[in-house]
Amino acid sequence: MSDASPSNFTPAPLDSSKRTWLLATSCVGAVGTVALAVPLLESFSPSERAKAAGAAVEVDISRLKPGEKLTVEWRGKPVWIMRRTPEQMATLKQDGADLVDPLSKRTAFPTPAYASNEARSREDHPEVLVVIGICTHLGCSPVDKFQTGAQPALPDNWPGGFFCPCHGSTFDLAGRVYKNKPAPDNLEVPPYMFLAENRLLIGEDKKA
């Protein structure tokens, strides 16, 4: 009987074809590992959108007509820019007694000093409103209700403004919240400044 114990077993040498096959398999495996690793590393690289998320946003408002509003994104939030008409500006003087914080003095959502006024805007461009379009109650997005007068869910003497469809909070055309509504504070004013007559920079206020 032959001795087949492990100590006396000697593996047969690989012929050249087997060595070639093993080498090729090892190379394919290594390439596969690298191929898997590259997408994984790329997934950790910040996207261009992410890089810009905290950056200031420059906006051209030259085409924004009186009574119109546009929305831009800053830090993942909708920012409303509205050029109010003289008639709309006049309504801001009439409803102060009905508002929670007419001059934006509360600190839960701090308002920049240059916007702590009746119009909540810079003195050199009082007609331009810049606010974050997120309700201060539970984060819903209010809708435009610029038409004046009686409308569903609005008072008969509605002067125009914004209405939050989630829980019924109402805001005037300066983003100031009306009394006896779920929202506790006015819409937030982000830092902003004018670079030129019709160019805004949202996210910086070096002129503050």
Please list the active-site residues: 167
Mapping DSSP onto H, E and C, the string for the chain reads CCCCCHHHCCCCCCCHHHHHHHHHHHHHHHHHHHHHHHHHHHHHCCCHHHHHCCCCEEEECCCCCCCEEEEEEECCEEEEEEECCHHHHHHCCCCHHHECCCCCCCCCCCCCHHHCCCCCCCCCCCCEEEEECCCCCCCCCCEEECCCCCECCECCCCCCEEECCCCCCEECCCCCEECCCCCCCCCCCCCEEEEECCEEEECCCCCC
